[in-house]
Amino acid sequence: MRLDRDPTSFILHIDATFRLNQVNYPVLVIGISDRARRFHLIAMRVFTAVSGNTLRVYYVMGDADDGRFNGVQNIIGRDNEYVYLMCFFYVLKNVNERLRGMDAKTACGIRKDIYDLHFTANLVNFVRKFRTVWEQWQGIQATKEFAQYFKKCRLQENLSGGSSPSAYATTNNPAEQFNRLLKRDYTLRTKLKMGCYWGCYFECCKNESELSQPFILTPEPTERLHRRSKKMEHMLLLQEADPSQSQLSGDTKVYVQSFAAPRMYMQSKDRSEETLAITTQMGVNYARMEFEDMPSVGWEVDVI
């Protein structure tokens, strides 16, 4: 029943977890995430037996495993026209492995370009941005080899910039966190005999079936984002551009200006970090999106 909804309202996550039993049988976890990035477990076997309906999927997310990609294509691709989203974590993982040995400044520039591609608003902007960075990479001797690798591996297609639906997960983290729960709460991080494992498996299925968790269809900020915005407002890094004008007009839209948080170099980590509480910090490439290319009047925000 959890899949009986608009296929554009969720991302299907597929992930395999291992080391749950002594015979190393892999457990394939299939679920969906909503616009609050919450994970909802789905059992395809149970789904078919209970409803008999055809599974309709528009977004699928996986990692760099070719077998998983081909499996999705062969099974789900028969009845669906879907967008395959490669987990952004694995995109960066592959990129970082390729950047080893490159000087730090050049490598940071490439990572910045990758994040710029990742944050494009739509496919048109993504294609335009990719052409720009591709020409830059091709024009520099130090990055020409990486440019060829990037295109050869078709990472620009797997990155799916502009294809990810707004407010949804961009990594396979919802499924990864559920795998973590399996190992922590049910197998206690040990390899069980199959008889014991099936008992844990059925207990997990029972608990997940009884779990009442609403499926969110509208964007919802995370607790971390709430904490960050309050801290930035307290430090005057986030403020309304013209409060008096908004009050007089009675408009539901306001303009908010965002400023970069001060950063401090951490010698132990050999990198700089924001001078905010750890629970509110963001990486440099995520944080710069809060103010980069911001209109002079600030970001337009609908308070309703």
The whole-angstrom separation of Cα 20 and Cα 22 is 7
| Contact (CB, 8 A) for 159 and 151 | no
**pLDDT above 90 covers what percent of the chain?**
14
Alpha helical stretches, state H, the chain: 44-50, 66-75, 88-98, 104-118, 123-139, 141-152, 155-158, 173-181, 194-210, 223-234, 243-249, 284-287
pLDDT at 235: 93
pLDDT score of 159:
60
Q: How many residues does the chain have?
A: 304
pLDDT of residue 261: 92
Closest CA to 191 of 27, 13, 43: 27
SS3 of residue 222 by DSSP: coil
pLDDT of residue 107: 92
pTM of the shown model: 0.66
- What pLDDT, on a 0 to 100 scale, did the predictor assign at position 49? 33
The pLDDT tens digits for 181-235 are 889 999 999 888 866 877 888 888 888 888 878 888 888 888 889 999 999 999 9
- pLDDT at residue 27, rounded to an integer: 75
As a dihedral over the C-alpha atoms of residue 208, residue 211, residue 217, residue 223, rounded to 10 degrees, the angle is -100
How confident is the model at residue 162, as a pLDDT?
A: 56
Q: Which residues, given as ranges, of the chain have pLDDT below 50?
A: 44-51
Note whether 193 and 158 are within 8 A (CB): no
